[in-house]
Structure 1
Amino acid sequence: MGKLKYIELIDKMTLEEKASLMSGKDYWQSQDIEHLGIFSMFLADGPHGIRKQAVSSQQMGLNRGIPATCYPTEATVANSWNEDLGEWVGSYLGKEAVSQKVNVLLGPGLNMKRNPLCGRNFEYFSEDPFLAGKLAAAYVRGIQSQGISACVKHFCAKNQEERSMSIDTIIDERALREIYLTAFEIAVKEGSTKALMSSYNKLNGTYTNENTHIMLDILRGEWDYSGCVITDWGGSNDRVKGLIAGNELEMPSNNGETDRIIVNAVKSGELDEAILDSCVDRLLDLTFTTEKIFDKGHVSFDIEKHHRISQKMAEESIVLLKNDEGILPINFDKKVAVIGDFARDARYQGSGSSRVNPTILDSTLECFDESGIRSVGYAPGFKRYGQCSKKLMKEACDLATKANVVLLYLGLDEATETQGLDRTSMSLPRNQVDLLEQLYSVNKNIVVILSSGAAIEMPWIGMAKGLLHGYLGGQAGARAILRVISGDVNPSGKLAETYPINYIDVPSSTNFPGKEVSVEYRESLFIGYRYFDTNNIDVLFPFGFGLSYTTFEYSNLRVEEDCVLFDVTNSGAYPGMEICQLYIGCESKLIFRPKKELKGFKKIFINPGDTKRVRIPFDDKTFRYFNIKTDSWEIESSNYNVFIGASISDIRLTGSLYVLGTDAPLPYNSVDLPSYFNGRVGNVSSSEFEKLLGYKPPESKWDRKKDLEYNDTLSQCRYARSLLARFAYWCIVFTHWFLKKISRRNEANLIMMSVYNMPFRGIARMTGGSISMGMLDGILLIVNGHFFKGINKFLKERKKNR
């Protein structure tokens, strides 16, 4: 432990005061000690806009926020591949946070898109750690340039929403380092984030915020991180173990219950007070460094200006996926029919904790006049949440017969992509596909405009001449899309994730989500394009793909020891931006790895006929791999292929470079790991996965004979000894079914997120101290068949808690 920065202030504190700083004051604020000049920090959700709830910070839940600019989501901005744009987004988020007196902005989200069905993919950047890390670091620099702190989340390997508060992620060390930690490493080292949020899940048997391997050995040791770690809300399990691992702030408040646990642990010798002092010191540093900005008084922001910035971000992130016969941009002499519920009410953000209350909200229909596109009318065509309506379909088809081109707005609704739930399929709702089929029978000139935050299957794509993907474009996304359709903006976005043809093609499809105790990452390194490209598997749209209204030619590649240089020429008629991508592949087969991996990128603007020289540097991550025998990063001596492409599958230039390595021992025996050495990891056996791990993974199923405990979920009450608990389970199931039946899907989702998948400890951790762990012991006695003993325990502890 190094020298403490605030040692004089800490020496003035009592043990109880130190402990009090380690948990929240209420649902959104840290604790204060006024007589020592320590004030509360306010923490607010904010990956793509500030969600500082309008009600008191003592109230729980996902309450409506104070109006703020809703910028495009991270999944959207990732398609821009523009670090400067990311920093720009961050700076404007930071300005608005300052205007609302928010010290810590809870974002950006940095988990990998291991599987396209993860319900929170709209809030994450990419399936590639290098791209995600670079963009996250840019966000962090932008946010913190305004004097407050970003909080990179969720550390780490949180890649499913179902049972996210208790699932045990089983992953081999190399995949953990190369895929799931690299993005965080970049955000810490290049972004210098002041705060980081630990995730809910276990990692290889230990809750992440208690996991000394990732928290101490890697985060604070290898990466030299000196910032503050904050739990996800309700994400603390064993408070003392969390402090020992360096997880300072527990959120939200628990009415002092864990403070008393900390005090008792110090007095008993279980917790060294020096560890507590270090945690207090880091928390104080976050408090004081983010409080300075508010000394200048209230700072307002220009609502209109920030709205225009949001539009610019959306414009640069829109991806043109198909443009047969040059149907886009729409000529001014064409008459268009606007069809689809999403044209009237734009789908512009995700649901859950990141849901922003926008300051302005553009509507496609209201923006048509300024676009210059001639509309013959609008028809909704389908009901938003999947119900079939022949009447709406007929009205849409009648309108389509009057137009030269149909602009068909399709997508996923708000209740399908949300925190707390994973999607059940990659399909669009059936009623939307049925509408497309009917429209195609009366008008073949259809341009589909998609709104969703994640990859979807498109068996219907042959019926669309044009396909424009806006992802979730924020409050100005509707106008941005129209500017691309009209040709005022040349689309320049490229996909930050792979679109498979079918979900079953995804290597993790057989191991997602973990339904009971654990989820096994048997595919190891081979997620996303790393799997598809290595195995030459056809995909719908490859990683890095995106069309433009112009064309680009690549030439004159030169590979040097520290960089690559090449020329890019705009050979078309439109000015435009091109995203140049650097991939590296090792020729040696002694260590298994993907065929090629992203190691650099550059976005450039070029006028028609002009040529620009592009330089992409190598860095410390270009040739490295993690060696499990030496427990360190190594470089293999080999010839490395250098690929310059417009996407992972559109390679324009190739070269090579011999790199002298570190002569480390080989980490694997290829005979033991045939699936990994040939890259075919879609169906890895349990025995081969065990050899990769180096140990036998835990049983993935619940032991239905044992008593339920703190970290078991309420859904497991179906197996409880208590008839009352089993009845409560079926009440939850019925309530969820009934709410869906009457089309109250948001409330139904909340049941699953906040009740069904909640571990028992969450009842105490998420109720602000209203239910203590002692009262929870009583509840568990009842659940496990000891009704009267449990009632007695609950009432005694309730009296004590009051």
Structure 2
Amino acid sequence: MAATQSTPADRARESAVEAALAALDLDAKTRLLAGQDMWSLPALPRIGLASLVMSDGPIGVRGVRWTADDPSVALPSPTALAAGWDPDLARRAGVLLAQEARRKGVHVLLAPTVNLHRSPLGGRHFEAYSEDPLLTGVIGAAYVTGVQSGGVGTTVKHFVANDAETDRFTVNNLVGERALRELYLAPFETIVATARPWGVMTAYNTVNGVTMTEHARLVNDVLRGEWSFDGFNVSDWMAARDTVPALRGGLDVAMPGPRTVYGEALARAVRDGAADEAEVDEAVRRVLRLAARTGALAGAEPAVTEVPEPVDGEALAREIARRSFVLVRNERSALPLRPGTVALSGAAARDARVLGGGSATVFPAHTVSPLDGLTAALPEGTLSYAVGADPSTELALGAPGFDLRAVCRDSAGNVLGTGTAPGGQIQWMGSDLPAGVTHDTLHTVELTGTFTPRESGPHTFGIRGFGAFTLTVGATTYYDDVQPADADDPFSAFFGAPVPRATAELVAGEPVDVSLTHVVTYAAELPLKNVIFALALQGPQRDPDELIAEAVAAARAADTAVVVVATTDRVESEGFDRADLRLPGRQDDLVHAVAAANPNTVVIVNSGSPVELPWRDEVAAVLLTWFPGQEGGAALADVLTGAHEPGGRLPTTWGSLADAPVTRVTPEGGELPYSEGVFIGYRAWEKQGRTPSYPFGHGLGYTDWRYDGISVDGTTVTVRVTNTGERPGREVVQVYVAPAETDPDRPARALAGFAGAEAGPGESVEVTVELPRRAFEIWDERTGGWAVVKGSYEIAAGRSIADRRAATSINV
């Protein structure tokens, strides 16, 4: 299929693509469709093609080296970005990420993730935007527009129905066509239509019996045919399974390499008559089009010749964070903080969790914790800190106190090269090795250096990874054995839990020598050679009751108590789903106790997706900060002190697991039925008549708003609001459409649009929202198309799905 040609520059690029394609033989073409390593495609100098480089996002650009040596700006999590309900903010985030990609030599960002929050148990929901397809599509489109305005491609992922992590490589998700169209495909459709992404990534999972890397109907017929998508389709890493079905299913690039189902295997299939070279040409054409757009193909003018003005990454990270924070409760105007003393508690206040686990991980140059931010913002002598409760009940990676380097040796013990590993993590993928080191000569890697404890007592050291390890702390060798791999998960070295292997009594402030030597073992089932292992730590475990008692005593003596609670990377991460929605450790006990001691207790919830808050009615204020990125602590101080108001609204419903309407994420017999159909998120909560803790769209600011009126002219909704408070503020006006006639097979109402309103005290403003045609349509499975449902509809505007302030009716 030819590219959508809208300008002379598009047509010129297409001519350059055709000329380059004509100069390639079969072997070169099939080689171009397979990764040459973990992150890139091969260069073809004969046609002026540079190596196309891809990198994970979505909150930062890691680059090809997964190491703290090459730091990245770390923005707040995608749930946080969606909580801003501001497409322009998402676009600006994209502009910054394009800037970061260019700095690191990256042509394509492997983002955004636009799967839906089908169940709150989804372990990777922090990396997706929302439970609502419209909000997801609007924010995702703005993000794509921002990235591509900087001349960097995007790959919208994971196409499609990759909404949970359990058995994600093999699960067959059984999704009805109506649910596919109205929910799971909808964000992709919006982004293709409005942002023209240059790429899409197909998922690991199977949909209705066909694995997504071979799903010709959804890729060729829907994505490329109905929607006219002209970009390239790359597999999720190691998702491609079979050469000919993948080609026929519309897969252009199989990653990573060099061992892959494409390359030599594809050339052989063509020569044997099993595959059609014309289909190979179509895939190569799309890859060359990507290269032309990103400036990697000589003779083709890039799609972007003037990049946007430079963006201050730290400032934007801080702005996104504070505008994403959702104030869900604020009794007696507990926030902003009143003058006086503040007792801060929670281990996450000192060691903030700023991003989620898995492939989204980047290494920022610095992070600002809540303790850091409040220490800088509050008058000296007014802030105290107590641990109170530690959410981490397991060994942690990247613990503070390590100062390590990696020494690489051959089988004779000769040093080949060295690299830094300050937090004790080695993640060398493919050719990403220290200078002078090759996989053929590498025999052992030794993490060596010191650990300086923050407190005295028994410290437990552990190992993540598989193979032979020798662990020495001080002068004692505690472990010298083989740690087995998880045979069911090829990524166990990356996502698996660390195993405790040593306990040493240490003294605060006194460095101790540490060494972890690994005999490198390569997994035969992986397509390239990787060296992945880590040294983990758990500090002294004090009596939890004593820790809580210390925090309670401090809270009782202070004017305000601030408690930070959090999840951990063993709760929210790529690679597994959640077993429950509870906060780990004794954090709930801490909040109950502090709230009993100080009625002016403020709780900060540091999680990427919903958790249960059994104490929410006992505290004065609850502020959700998601995973707030590297500047999270500074942004928190901005909001708590009142320098800025919290700007976020909930992009997904928060409630208890017992009440959640959709909870099944574990397949049975390899299958996971999406039996709820079109009823997920707030649609399901309303259908089942259940009341969540906090509804979709909810969020408070530091001022009040009155809705003065609503009118509809054609498809344009106009809403007038007045700031009735005493300070300037921003309101997110949400418009919901509800059919007057009850239909049990149709949601009672759905988000149809939204707009931000800004006004000073006493000022009134009007905002407009365009009603999309899709708000009045359903997918008709009998006809296989969209159908307008005629009748009367309520058009309501308000502050959340449950707090609608103004309404009118129209006939369609």
TM-score bracket relative to the smaller structure:
0.7 to 0.9
- Which of 753, 757, 766 is the equivalent residue of 1:613? 766
Measured against aligned partners, the alpha-carbon deviations of 1:376-433 in whole angstroms (never above 9, x if no partner) come to 4111112231366233222212222220110101111122111101111001124111
What code does the residue aligned with 1:113 have? H
Question: Which shifted more, 356-365 or 539-548?
Answer: 356-365
The residue that corresponds to 1:213 in the other structure is: 217
Match of 1:622, SS? helix
Measured against aligned partners, the alpha-carbon deviations of 1:424-452 in whole angstroms (never above 9, x if no partner) come to 10011241112222223322221101100
Q: Does the alignment pair 1:307 with 2:311?
A: no
Counterpart CA distance in 2 for 1:161 and 1:275 is 32
CA contact (8 A) 2:213 2:235 kept: yes
The residue that corresponds to 1:658 in the other structure is: 811
* Paired residues for 1:767-786 under 5 Å: none
- Which of 639, 647, 653 is the equivalent residue of 1:492? 647
The residue that corresponds to 2:530 in the other structure is: none
CA contact (8 A) 1:508 1:522 kept: no
What code does the residue aligned with 1:280 have? V
Measured against aligned partners, the alpha-carbon deviations of 1:256-312 in whole angstroms (never above 9, x if no partner) come to 663232122222332221111011000011112213599999999999921011101
Measured against aligned partners, the alpha-carbon deviations of 1:736-769 in whole angstroms (never above 9, x if no partner) come to xxxxxxxxxxxxxxxxxxxxxxxxxxxxxxxxxx
- Which of 602, 611, 632 is the equivalent residue of 1:447? 602
* Paired residues for 1:241-260 under 5 Å: 241-255=245-259, 258-260=262-264
The residue that corresponds to 1:508 in the other structure is: 662
Query: Residue 343 and residue 590 in structure 1: after superposition, are their counterparts in 2 closer, same or farther (change >3 A)?
Result: closer
Match of 1:461, SS? coil
* Paired residues for 1:120-519 under 5 Å: 120-255=124-259, 258-291=262-295, 305-332=312-339, 334-372=340-378, 375-386=382-393, 389-500=544-655, 502-509=656-663, 511-514=664-667, 516-519=669-672
What code does the residue aligned with 2:588 have? V
The residue that corresponds to 1:738 in the other structure is: none
CA contact (8 A) 1:407 1:447 kept: yes
> Any unmatched runs of 5+ in structure 1?
55-61, 660-802
Q: Does the alignment pair 1:17 with 2:23?
A: no
The residue that corresponds to 1:774 in the other structure is: none
The structure richer in strand per residue is 2
Give, in angstroms, the shift of residue 183 of structure 1: 0.4
Counterpart CA distance in 2 for 1:347 and 1:401 is 27
% same residue: 32
Measured against aligned partners, the alpha-carbon deviations of 1:487-519 in whole angstroms (never above 9, x if no partner) come to 11112210000012x21322222x322254011
Counterpart CA distance in 2 for 1:132 and 1:413 is 25
Counterpart CA distance in 1 for 2:50 and 2:264 is 21
Counterpart CA distance in 2 for 1:375 and 1:251 is 54
Counterpart CA distance in 2 for 1:304 and 1:195 is 24
CA contact (8 A) 2:85 2:649 kept: yes
What code does the residue aligned with 2:661 have? P
Counterpart CA distance in 1 for 2:392 and 2:70 is 27
Match of 1:398, SS? helix
Match of 2:320, SS? helix
Counterpart CA distance in 2 for 1:130 and 1:298 is 31
* Paired residues for 1:541-560 under 5 Å: 541-560=694-713
- Which of 43, 58, 71 is the equivalent residue of 1:32? 43
Counterpart CA distance in 1 for 2:717 and 2:707 is 13
The residue that corresponds to 2:19 in the other structure is: 8
Counterpart CA distance in 2 for 1:304 and 1:139 is 15
The residue that corresponds to 1:533 in the other structure is: 686
CA contact (8 A) 1:381 1:393 kept: yes
CA contact (8 A) 2:49 2:296 kept: no
CA contact (8 A) 1:94 1:148 kept: yes
Match of 2:55, SS? strand
TM-score (norm 2): 0.77
Measured against aligned partners, the alpha-carbon deviations of 1:432-487 in whole angstroms (never above 9, x if no partner) come to 11222222332222110110001011112122111111111100111111111111
Measured against aligned partners, the alpha-carbon deviations of 1:543-582 in whole angstroms (never above 9, x if no partner) come to 0000111110112211222111121100111110000011
Query: Residue 300 and residue 643 in structure 1: after superposition, are their counterparts in 2 closer, same or farther (change >3 A)?
Result: closer
Counterpart CA distance in 2 for 1:411 and 1:441 is 20
The residue that corresponds to 1:578 in the other structure is: 731
Match of 1:514, SS? coil
Give, in angstroms, the shift of residue 622 of structure 1: 2.2
Counterpart CA distance in 2 for 1:220 and 1:147 is 22
Query: Residue 273 and residue 301 in structure 1: after superposition, are their counterparts in 2 closer, same or farther (change >3 A)?
Result: closer
Match of 2:343, SS? strand
CA contact (8 A) 1:362 1:479 kept: yes
The residue that corresponds to 1:108 in the other structure is: 112
The residue that corresponds to 1:732 in the other structure is: none
The residue that corresponds to 1:756 in the other structure is: none
CA contact (8 A) 1:147 1:293 kept: no
Question: Which shifted more, 85-94 or 267-276?
Answer: 267-276
Q: Does the alignment pair 1:567 with 2:578?
A: no
Question: Which shifted more, 4-13 or 43-52?
Answer: 4-13
RCO comparison, higher one (Cα < 8 Å, 6+): 2
Match of 2:262, SS? helix
Query: Residue 292 and residue 607 in structure 1: after superposition, are their counterparts in 2 closer, same or farther (change >3 A)?
Result: farther
TM-score (norm 1): 0.78
Counterpart CA distance in 1 for 2:673 and 2:784 is 22
CA contact (8 A) 2:242 2:261 kept: no
Match of 1:462, SS? coil
Counterpart CA distance in 2 for 1:323 and 1:303 is 38
Runs (4 or more) in structure 1 with deviation over 3 Å come to 1-5, 62-65, 254-258, 292-304, 588-591
Match of 1:621, SS? helix
Counterpart CA distance in 1 for 2:45 and 2:731 is 54
Query: Residue 340 and residue 515 in structure 1: after superposition, are their counterparts in 2 closer, same or farther (change >3 A)?
Result: farther
Q: Does the alignment pair 1:51 with 2:62?
A: yes
CA contact (8 A) 1:48 1:73 kept: yes
Counterpart CA distance in 2 for 1:434 and 1:303 is 46
Counterpart CA distance in 2 for 1:436 and 1:557 is 42
Give, in angstroms, the shift of residue 603 of structure 1: 1.1
The structure richer in helix per residue is 1
What code does the residue aligned with 1:244 have? R
CA contact (8 A) 2:59 2:77 kept: yes
Counterpart CA distance in 2 for 1:127 and 1:304 is 30
CA contact (8 A) 1:46 1:354 kept: yes
Counterpart CA distance in 1 for 2:69 and 2:163 is 26
The residue that corresponds to 2:401 in the other structure is: none
Give, in angstroms, the shift of residue 32 of structure 1: 1.9
> Any unmatched runs of 5+ in structure 2?
4-13, 394-540
What code does the residue aligned with 1:341 have? A
Match of 1:595, SS? coil
Query: Residue 477 and residue 97 in structure 1: after superposition, are their counterparts in 2 closer, same or farther (change >3 A)?
Result: same
What code does the residue aligned with 1:479 have? A
